[in-house]
Amino acid sequence: MQLYNTLSAKEREALIEEAGKERLTISFYQYAHIKNPELFRNHLFITWNELDVLGRIYVAFEGINAQLSVPAENFEAFKKHLDSISFLENVRLNIAIEQDNKSFLKLKVKVRDKIVADGLDDNLFDVTKKGIHVDAEKFNELIEDPDTVLVDMRNHYESEIGHFKNAITPDVDTFRDSLDIIENDLKDHKEDKKLVMYCTGGIRCEKASAYYKHKGFKQVYQLEGGIIEYTRQVQDKKLENKFMGKNFVFDHRRGERITDDVIANCHQCGKPCDNHVNCANEACHLLFIQCEECATSMDQCCSTACKDIHALPFEEQKALRKGKTVSNKIFKKGRSEVLKYKK
């Protein structure tokens, strides 16, 4: 029985191109009580692998978080399989606006401690006592209310390229950090203000809203399905779009354009730009915003130091890397002293 990937990303890319079929980029999540995540993981892998589903899926005792690419022609079968699992029946699927056949090139289903690394002790509060879910229409109404405080629950590099008008965008690296900042900022308004939250696909707000209710906030709302679903509804129902810029996404596209507003700037020259890249020096890999001119002059690197390393023969680069950890990948998303224009 095949339980893991056998094709490399390159081989997969070639196969997708050859097939020339339309694929859908889909994400969904569900908090649930999964008794045996390992067994569930294997069941998903076997079924989805047969349906040629690709993507990154996390399974934990607390639920499932999935980002997938599904061949359009297998969508019905995929949906039917989801509906056959009790806690995934009619689960809301976020379908990406810009279609991209190569959003994922492998099927990776991983068992984790949690479906989102949120740094919270879940025994302290009941995650099922969540806030009031609102759709795009209600959300637009709510955020015009003078008693509303609108909070972006994402990290700094996400809100930097796009966010809702008048939203508070905490300058944080982690979800856990923003929880404390917001609580502290609003500690005198737990009852009189409406706390309205949003994130990429809704999953972070699910926990955050339960957390704030546990902390004594009386009016807690969350944008159902996050920015992804909001954008779909706004287009579908011809509502006013109150989002500006790009929605940061965690696949190779980095961002999905929602409006033409460019609210960020190149971290190297300061001109308007909202294009995230990773530093081409493998040992650095820093995520930052770089315009095309800077990409050319800097050889797609974040600094002259990285540019020099990147210019070395591969073997020499490897020798330099030996014994050093690639901590940038995890801890320095978009933060580095070399980035003059990072606000």
Residue positions annotated with a catalytic role:
199
**Closest Cα to residue 243, out of 173, 162, 122?**
162
294 binds Zn ion (CB under 5 A): yes
Residue 279 as a binder of Zn ion (CB under 5 A): the answer is: yes
Is 291 one of the binding residues for Zn ion (CB under 5 A)? yes
Rounded CA-CA distance 9/279 in Å is 21
- Cα separation of 148 and 128, whole Å? 23
Pick 41 or 342: Cβ nearer Zn ion: 342
CA angle, 133 then 240 then 238, to 5°: 90
State the pairing for strand pair 132-134/194-198. Answer: unpaired
Check if the beta carbon of residue 157 is closer than 8 Å to that of residue 174: no
**Stretch of residues binding Zn ion (CB under 5 A), selected from 7-15, 138-146, 176-184, 287-295:** 287-295
Tally of helices (H runs) and strands (E runs) in the chain: 12, 14
DSSP state letters, 22-89:
-EEEEEEEEE---S-HHHHHHHHHHHHHHTT-EEEEEEETTEEEEEEEEEGGGHHHHHHHHHTSGGGT
CB of residue 98 to Zn ion, shortest distance in Å: 24
Per CB under 5 A, the list member of 58, 281, 288, 298 interacting with Zn ion is: 281
Q: Which stretch binds Zn ion (CB under 5 A): 107-115, 138-146, 163-171, 276-284?
A: 276-284
How is residue 282 annotated by DSSP?
A: T
CB-wise, 53 or 286, nearer to Zn ion? Answer: 286
Looking at residue 213, its amino acid is K
Interface pick for Zn ion out of 266, 277, 287, 298 (rule CB under 5 A): 266
Q: Which stretch binds Zn ion (CB under 5 A): 99-107, 140-148, 201-209, 268-276?
A: 268-276
CA–CA distance from 22 to each of 16, 32, 42, 73, 99 (Å)? 9, 31, 26, 8, 8
Q: Which is nearer to Zn ion, 134 or 284 (CB)?
A: 284
179 vs 339 by CB, closer to Zn ion: 339
152, containing H or E segment: strand 148-152
Q: For Zn ion, which residue of 16, 115, 302, 309 counts as binding (CB under 5 A)?
A: 302
Binding mask 66-105 for Zn ion (x = CB under 5 A): ----------------------------------------
Nearer of residues 89 and 292 to Zn ion, judged by Cβ = 292
Q: Which of 32, 143, 227, 284 binds Zn ion (CB under 5 A)?
A: 284
Q: Does 264 bind Zn ion (CB under 5 A)?
A: no
The binding site for Zn ion (CB under 5 A) comprises 266, 268-269, 279, 281, 284, 286, 291, 294, 302, 306
